[in-house]
Structure 1
């Protein structure tokens, strides 16, 4: 897999990326996590790094990773941590990935927010949980919004709702990629445009102090 990176997250202590579209054989689909691990060299990481995952049931639950021995949260759509050298990972194919970084307190979050999660205000909950668990001041947070499906390919402009939620919480540094997954099928997977017969992009984020 190849990776896309975001200038707003270009910090020496961060590793991040969004995987791009890769060739798929629908008759012989590859197992996704081994494919992710085998591609981590593209973001400067070893394949043996611990990877934390969320079950992503399109809800509002945000889990806090406190121990590297517990890396899977089946009911969560968001992951937060201040632990170094562990990679947060979620999958998207039209929904938005929200990358959160608190450079003052060295804490991060990775949130899956599509139509349902946005309606449930998962972005708001993530900011509140960052404050509760890591004393993150919303004005210090840097939030990057990944490529996702957008109008007119989707009837709901959930990105504008995400931005409104973040601003209402006091987040000031919001960076939207502005890219539509359904508009660039040569680069991204799109569940809506491909009628469900598609793959997933990986959004990943980790703290790696120098």
Structure 2
């Protein structure tokens, strides 16, 4: 990933998406805002232990960095679901409840998802000029929300997976993401195996889940070209000085965001 400051806000960008002039995209970090303590400074979530005024100001700063109006930032109410929603110019953000992925082909709308260990994934179809933003924790990953998002883009825009460019963003790494037997069983049911997805299983049934690989394989199975997929490989737990980590902070952290928009 490429890191650069825009209007004094440090943002990360995928190298695979940078060459396309018709989109803007970003992954934010924990710096550049006005929040304090564990949610600071750049918390973007109203659900974190932060004041509403701080979040509004942080979102205003994000919009300024993207050179858009704050009202053009669209966030769903995430619940670790497998629900995907289409966003248009007439969409009321209040209707985006229990939603963990957004898609659009409307220029000027920046669709965003928030995270603090879960995987944010951005999708771009340069042929149909459409985009997707996905929030995939372990629940979303085993329910294959990424696959569902691409299927929704196929239905709404005529997207062909072989045309997609994808960025799998910062999240907790397989070295740090220990999960219990119920999660491992869910991975087994979803993928038919756990090989390459779960490592170091112990006598208590715990192991380490690789969210990056589980989502990369969904792209592979849909025939998204390997060279068009960028995995950031940034661990939010190990780099909690730059990104929020719910696990490392005992769920006291704020939330960073990933977003993408068509600009023309």
The TM tier, using the shorter chain, reads over 0.9
Selected match of 1:63 from 85, 96, 111:
85
RMSD, matched Cα: 1.7
Q: Compute the displacement of 1:48 (Å).
A: 4.0
The reply to whether residue 185 of structure 1 matches residue 244 of structure 2 is no
Q: Distance in 1 between matches of 2:15 and 2:218?
A: 23
Higher mean C-alpha displacement, 63-72 vs 53-62: 63-72
More helix by share: 2
Q: Which runs of 5+ in 2 are unaligned?
A: 1-8, 39-48, 179-208
Give the TM-score taking structure 2 as reference length: 0.74
2:59 touches 2:70 (CA, 8 Å); kept in 1? no
1:36 touches 1:202 (CA, 8 Å); kept in 2? no
Q: Compute the displacement of 1:69 (Å).
A: 4.0
The reply to whether residue 142 of structure 1 matches residue 153 of structure 2 is no
Q: Distance in 2 between matches of 1:169 and 1:202?
A: 26
Q: Which runs of 5+ in 1 are unaligned?
A: none
Q: Compute the displacement of 1:6 (Å).
A: 1.5
Give the equivalent residue in structure 2 for 1:87.
110
* 1:195 to 1:112, Cα distance in 2 relative to 1, 3 A: same
Q: Distance in 2 between matches of 1:99 and 1:33?
A: 23
The reply to whether residue 25 of structure 1 matches residue 47 of structure 2 is no
Larger Rg, first or second structure (1 or 2): 2
Higher mean C-alpha displacement, 78-87 vs 17-26: 17-26
Selected match of 1:5 from 2, 13, 19:
13
Q: Compute the displacement of 1:41 (Å).
A: 2.4
Q: Distance in 1 between matches of 2:50 and 2:65?
A: 22
Give the equivalent residue in structure 2 for 1:163.
216
Q: Compute the displacement of 1:186 (Å).
A: 1.3
Higher mean C-alpha displacement, 57-66 vs 67-76: 67-76
Figure out how many residues of one structure are paired with residues of the other and give that number: 208
Q: Deviations over 1:58-96 (max 9, x none)?
A: 010000113334234012100001101111111110011
Give the TM-score taking structure 1 as reference length: 0.92
* 1:191 to 1:81, Cα distance in 2 relative to 1, 3 A: same
